[in-house]
Amino acid sequence: QKEVEQNSGPLSVPEGAIASLNCTYSDRVSQSFFWYRQYSGKSPELIMSIYSNGDKEDGRFTAQLNKASQYVSLLIRDSQPSDSATYLCAVEGGYSTLTFGKGTMLLVSP
Amino acid sequence: SAVISQKPSRDICQRGTSLTIQCQVDSQVTMMFWYRQQPGQSLTLIATANQGSEATYESGFVIDKFPISRPNLTFSTLTVSNMSPEDSSIYLCSVILGANVLTFGAGSRLTVL
């Protein structure tokens, strides 16, 4: 069974700090990886996708992928209170379906 | 960008009854996906709905409990049958839009008493 593991948190960081969110996955053949943000009471929204080993940057967000270690991470620079949410790691499982981790709750304090 | 509308947004139901959730997309899509998010848990795929064929269910989900309709390329329904309190959850419709982006509707929050 395909698994995606994340620390549930909460991860608490002060405003302006770097938040680092981590994810490991079990399916070695996975090729597509995604980070979703979910605010309380809302549906998930995609913030980053990554398909190749290395780093991918988009504004304050950087996704990192290491397929050999089966590891995906998300860095949020200059964290803001509005970044407080649950971050879900998702891995494509074939036929366009995604397997989600349980999510890491991030709390950014002013 | 395309809009995904779900209804009802929330409902409170009695044990043993059934509820049908509707999902409407304002563009034609090949596949529609139904996910469940139980309290404090992540998203679990229930089934994939293709127009003109039976839905494909994931392990642990069966058609008798979660019948799905897909009458056209913009609409789908998910029915939660013979509900029990364990079915209390958020049910999310989703589609792939743009460049391989799985996009979710606002969800239907179901509470079973």
As a whole number, mean pLDDT of residues B93-100 equals 87
Chain A CA closest to residue B31: A96
Higher pLDDT, B97 or A53: A53
Least confident residue range of A45-54, B93-102, B103-112: B93-102
Listed residue (B107, B111, B113) closest to B21, CA to CA: B107
Q: Where are the beta strands (DSSP E) in A1-110?
A: 4-5, 11-14, 19-25, 33-38, 45-50, 54-58, 61-66, 71-76, 85-94, 97-100, 104-109
pLDDT above 80 (res B40): yes
A52: contact with B, CB 8 A cutoff: no
Residue B48 touches chain A, beta carbons under 8 Å: yes
Q: Is the pLDDT of residue B2 over 70?
A: no
CB within 8 Å: B106 and A99: no
- B60-80: string of b/e by CB count within 10 Å (b at 16+)? ebeeebbbbebeebbbbbbeb
Pair B92, B107: CB distance under 8 Å: yes
- The encoded tokens of residue B89 equal 């959850």
pLDDT at residue B97 tops 90? no
Task: Please check the confidence at residue B109 and state whether its pLDDT lies above 70.
Answer: yes
List pLDDT tens digits, range A89-98: 999 977 778 9
From the list A94, A86, A87, the residue with the least C-alpha distance to A72 is: A87
* The pLDDT of residue B13 is above 80: yes
